[in-house]
């Protein structure tokens, strides 16, 4: 019986560690600077993506092709954004959830910006051939 309790506690602790590690990876990637051309390319009214821009940035991500590298899967970040948006309705968690949603938007913005930069470099390389 004690071994089952210890196993359950360890699995819970590992899951919590995994979630915090994943969030730190997302936050680290989202902290990367955006290029100067991103605001013009994205069509956003403001320079930094906000929580409400997530859907528009996902659409931009779908419209931006990947040339020569693997496809980025955003299903996990979409699921996280959806879960946090539900928590945003709770007054006690509103500010935290808003920051997390902004991080998700920023993550997608960095991905789109990287795709744009890579595609422009690829196009310039093709023109120079």
What would the pLDDT profile of 56-114 be if each residue is shown by its tens digit? Answer: 999 999 888 876 666 677 999 999 999 999 999 999 999 999 999 999 999 999 999 99
Task: Work out the pLDDT band at 2, boundaries 50, 70, 90.
Answer: very high
Cβ–Cβ under 8 Å, residues 105 and 50: yes
Q: Whole-angstrom Cα distance, residue 69 to residue 83?
A: 29
The DSSP annotation for 50-112 comes to -GGGHHHHHHHHHHS--SSSPPPP-HHHHHHHHHHHHHTTSGGGHHHHHHHHHHHHHHHHHHH
pLDDT at 68: 61
Selection from 79, 78, 96 nearest residue 87 by Cα: 96
- Whole-structure pTM over 0.75, yes or no? yes
Tokens of 5: 């309790």
């Amino acid at each position: 019986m004690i071994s089952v309790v210890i196993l359950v506690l360890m699995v819970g602790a590992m899951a919590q560690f995994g979630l915090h590690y994943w969030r730190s990876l997302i936050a680290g990637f989202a902290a990367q600077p955006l290029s100067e051309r991103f605001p013009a390319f994205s069509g956003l009214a403001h320079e930094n993506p906000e929580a409400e821009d997530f859907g528009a940035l996902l659409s931009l991500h779908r419209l931006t092709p990947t040339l020569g590298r693997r496809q980025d899967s955003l299903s996990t970040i979409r699921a996280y954004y959806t879960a946090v948006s539900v928590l945003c309705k709770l007054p006690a968690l509103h500010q935290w959830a808003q920051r997390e949603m902004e991080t998700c938007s920023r993550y997608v913005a960095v991905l789109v910006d990287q795709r744009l930069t890579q595609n422009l470099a690829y196009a310039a390389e093709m023109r120079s051939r």
